Amino acid sequence: MSLTLKTGETAGTSFVSVHGEVDVSCADELRTCIAHVMEHEAKGIRIDIADMPYIDSTGIGVLVGAAHTASEQGIAFEIAHPQRNVARVLELLGVTSELGISKG
């Protein structure tokens, strides 16, 4: 499954919609996309992963790194709509609070 990333902005919050699996083969693409969104000085960033059925440790590292960078820059960061299996992996790794997981 190929990775498709869509970006936009709503009321000062930038968003990235992730469609497809995130693994070592495409994690740099996600990292670059999120970094580009952060450069536009949004008040917040929301990463919608409703259409992301799988993420490996490299992809999780990208999300955690982005969350830390956002925190350092004073930007609100949120991961939204994780599928159950992805949410479970993030819970097991103990990174849900760092990622600001939102199911709604």
**For the domain that residue 28 is a member of, what is the CATH number?**
3.30.750.24
Q: pLDDT digits over 36-57, tens only?
A: 998 876 789 999 999 999 999 9
Distances in Å between the Cα of 93 and the Cα atoms of 23, 56, 70, 75, 99 are 16, 12, 20, 23, 11
**What pLDDT shows up at residue 55?**
96
DSSP label of 104: -
Total tally of structural domains belonging to the chain: 1
Pair type for strands 44-51 and 101-102: unpaired
What is the model's pTM? 0.92
- Alpha helices (runs of H) in the chain, residue ranges in sequence order: 27-38, 57-72, 84-93, 96-99
pLDDT computed for residue 49 by the predictor: 97
- For residue range 63-75, list pLDDT tens digits in order: 999 999 999 999 9
Which residue range is the domain that position 63 belongs to?
4-102
Residue 104 has pLDDT above 60, yes or no: no
pLDDT(26) > 90? yes
Torsions phi, psi of 40, nearest 5?
A: -90, 15
Q: What is the pLDDT of residue 102?
A: 72
Residues in contact with 44: Cβ distance below 8 Å, sequence separation at least 6, in sequence order: 12, 13, 14, 75, 76, 77, 78
Rg (the chain; Cα; Å) = 12
